Structure 1
């Protein structure tokens, strides 16, 4: 009986049915169908994402907060109108050759606020500068 199921699974699967559909047809589990196909030497097709799944991945808001200077708007990453000016100031200071300590002191002296903290810290500025250096953010002039 198992040999018959194995042949029947292979026949249905090669006709284009999914593992789940083959299992429903033969009243066996999807995992059992998969095991029969592997034992029969049938090459399983890779699961490619559907265009709908891919579009959902591109527009979905993630749990990760957006980088400083940006926010999510209608599922897209866009410039944050409040933070982007500060990001441009950091970029100008960096282009002038100032290091993270000097930029931190500059931002705190100007009383420019970071996203959550009370004042700017060296580590936060270093992360932003690292994004500039690795070209994850490229600002030409004062625009992206």
Structure 2
């Protein structure tokens, strides 16, 4: 009995390139400041293969650690410390926090009126004004804010920073 079905076999062309062409392309992409990972994705190779080809071609690899110039460019206006109460980081700059700044102004007005940190803590909790993370105000947090006013790190004139 003869099988009535005819099988169609498709051929897939395989693009075999010269290893020197691959090395040249890897070097060109690396000189255009692409990362090893980006080059590997682009050429469908492993990152290790890309690294080995660059080393065999005599290309000096860029350092893993960022240069000090790169670090300063990334951290413009930012530090590892959280911003002080009443402020936040927006696009790398320290700006007024819309949810906390009014509370900061109230603290400043009461401090100017002669309240100390303990009285301010009781005042803020009585008014049910919320601190950044805690459920209620504590003396230590209020003292930090008052210390910033006293050291003139934060100067408020006419109700504005």
Q: TM-score scaled by structure 2?
A: 0.55
For the pair 1:58 / 2:76, whether they are aligned, the reply is: yes
CA RMSD of aligned residues (A): 1.5
Q: Residue in 1 aligned with 2:127?
A: 110
Distance 2:74 2:151 in 1: 28
Pairing of 1:12-27 with structure 2 (within 5 A): none
Stretches (4+) displaced over 6 A: none
Pairing of 1:48-87 with structure 2 (within 5 A): 54-59=72-77, 61-87=78-104
8 Å contact from structure 2 (residues 75, 92) kept in 1: no
Distance 1:54 1:76 in 2: 13
Distance 1:127 1:53 in 2: 29
Larger radius of gyration: 2
Distance 1:116 1:93 in 2: 22
For the pair 1:100 / 2:134, whether they are aligned, the reply is: no
SS in 2 for 1:78: strand
SS in 2 for 1:58: coil
Total equivalences in the alignment: 94
Unaligned runs of 5+ in 2: 1-67
SS in 2 for 1:71: strand
Deviation at 1:54, TM superposition (A): 4.5
Deviation at 1:58, TM superposition (A): 2.6
Deviation at 1:116, TM superposition (A): 0.5
Q: Residue in 2 aligned with 1:40?
A: none
Unaligned runs of 5+ in 1: 1-48
